[in-house]
Amino acid sequence: MGQRRTEPGEAGPRGMEPREQRGALLRLALVVVCGLVVAKLAGALDTVLIVMALLLMIVLHELGHFLTAKWAGMKVTEFFVGFGPRLWSVRKGETTYGVKALPLGGYCRILGMTNLEVVSPQDEARAYRSRPTWRRLSVAFAGSFMHFLMAFVLLVVLFAGPGDIGNLVGNPPADNPIAAVDGFATGRSPAQEAGLRPGDRIVAVNGHRFAGWSQLTAYLRARPGQLVVLSVERAGHRFTTRPVRLADGSKVVVEGDKAPLYSRPTGLLGVEAGPVRFGLLGALEHAGSSFGSIATVSVSRLVATIGSPGNYVNMLQSQKAADNPHATRFVSPVGVVVLAHEAAQIGWSEVLYLLVLINIFVGFFNLVPLLPLDGGHVAIALYEKARSLRARRPYHADVNKLAPVLYAVLAVLAFYAISSLFLDLRDVVR
């Protein structure tokens, strides 16, 4: 939500006629199309589309503020996509809509966000600060709500569409379709010898049925070098393979790898579990439970990360500390692009999972009760309500007194942003 002072009559670029506005918008669309063509030729179209999806999420965040502010009767003077120089804008009623040059998100400018903003007397009743507390809370919470809504919808799409590949459903059904049949650098794998194909379902091993993929793999891993007979379902028909000898995962290398998968003798068949899909009702159910588990982890890691700035100092000084798999830190835009590229290489299940993680984390981070985050506006609204009830008259907090806290928060955010960018750039260079 914007907080800068806005003149009530501010409009688009002076002198820009409707024809010029259409021309500017057409040029912008042409630039976007050319960028997508270049990305396609460079083999990075999937990554660019994911980054565009992330930018769209930021715009939807601001759209949440915009819609609830309009619903609450507040005066919204601007809604822009991007920052920097204005490329195109149009005035509709009291609001100017437009696009700016730097596609780094968007903003919604609501009149009277703090007591410092000068508002004309005729607009004061429609200022954010003059509306009832529950209205102000609805506007402040709307951004995070949009992130949570997007995360839930993406989870439903994930479970009902491409399917989860083990990030959330840690133990897929044992008869889940096989996603891939691996080959060994030294020869054919037992799965290849058995004639298994992607899409096959392993119904039983040596006559034993299993509740989940974890139990199936545990049974196989405990039998390196032993003969097994597989009961397989393919396109609705069941058959039994000839006996095949499980490989020893400590002695063979899977194609594409440089070292054995295991350091100890481990039975290896050479198949990978496929994605787990559900119907619409199952997708809704698993989306709800998965949202809760991800939210719990996100909040705990957010608290741990913010509360341990020393960890960042250690990671800046020591590459070993930065490479620690248990290290938690924020990811810069550079790191997000790298993650997006890696997710695109794996498949759309991983892409959806990444977008879910980002939405849930951003949603909770934005609720930290400190300005300039939305959580700061929530805290101020609740504080003013408590003081108003106590004094039995309207009370508005003096934002000037919060300036030192605001500057301190901005300094901390700048530290995390710069240090995260440095760590991500260092990883890219390596």
Note the pLDDT tens digit of each residue in 164-221.
877 777 677 777 788 888 888 778 889 999 999 988 899 999 999 988 888 888 999 9
Q: Based on the domain organization, do 122 and 46 belong to the same domain?
A: yes
Q: Based on the domain organization, do 31 and 97 belong to the same domain?
A: yes
Q: How far is C-alpha 416 from the chain's CA centre?
A: 19
Q: At residue 138, does pLDDT exceed 90?
A: yes
Residue 16 confidence class, pLDDT cut points 50, 70, 90: low
Q: Based on the domain organization, do 200 and 260 belong to the same domain?
A: yes
Assign residue 263 the CATH number of its domain.
2.30.42.10
Domain edge (last residue) among 251, 273, 295: 273
Evaluate whether residue 397 is within a structural domain: no
Note the pLDDT tens digit of each residue in 260-293.
778 889 998 988 877 888 888 888 988 998 999 8
Residue 136's closest CA among 67, 66, 72, 59? Answer: 72
Q: Based on the domain organization, do 184 and 264 belong to the same domain?
A: yes
Q: Based on the domain organization, do 184 and 115 belong to the same domain?
A: no
SS3 313: helix
Task: Give, as one character, the DSSP assignment of residue 263.
Answer: S
Evaluate whether residue 249 is within a structural domain: yes
Q: At residue 371, does pLDDT exceed 90?
A: no
Evaluate whether residue 341 is within a structural domain: no
How many angstroms separate the CA atoms of 267 and 258, rounded?
19
Evaluate whether residue 218 is within a structural domain: yes
Dihedrals phi, psi of 239, to nearest 5 degrees: -150, 165
Beta carbons of 262 and 246 less than 8 angstroms apart: no
Q: Based on the domain organization, do 63 and 1 belong to the same domain?
A: yes
Q: Based on the domain organization, do 127 and 183 belong to the same domain?
A: no
The number of residues in the chain equals 430
At residue 228, the pLDDT reads: 93
Note the pLDDT tens digit of each residue in 232-271.
999 889 999 999 999 888 888 776 667 777 888 999 898 8
Q: Based on the domain organization, do 98 and 224 belong to the same domain?
A: no
Residue 129's closest CA among 380, 359, 307? Answer: 380
Evaluate whether residue 62 is within a structural domain: yes
SS3 114: coil
CB atoms within 10 A of CB 430: 7
Evaluate whether residue 318 is within a structural domain: no
Q: Based on the domain organization, do 47 and 121 belong to the same domain?
A: yes
How many angstroms separate the CA atoms of 229 and 208, rounded?
10
Domain edge (last residue) among 252, 273, 294: 273
Instruction: Count structural domains, the chain.
Output: 2
Q: Based on the domain organization, do 30 and 85 belong to the same domain?
A: yes
Domain edge (last residue) among 236, 252, 273: 273
At residue 170, the pLDDT reads: 66
Evaluate whether residue 3 is within a structural domain: yes
Evaluate whether residue 13 is within a structural domain: yes
Q: Based on the domain organization, do 112 and 217 belong to the same domain?
A: no
Q: Based on the domain organization, do 11 and 101 belong to the same domain?
A: yes
Residue 37 structural domain: 1-131
Note the pLDDT tens digit of each residue in 89-104.
888 889 999 888 777 7
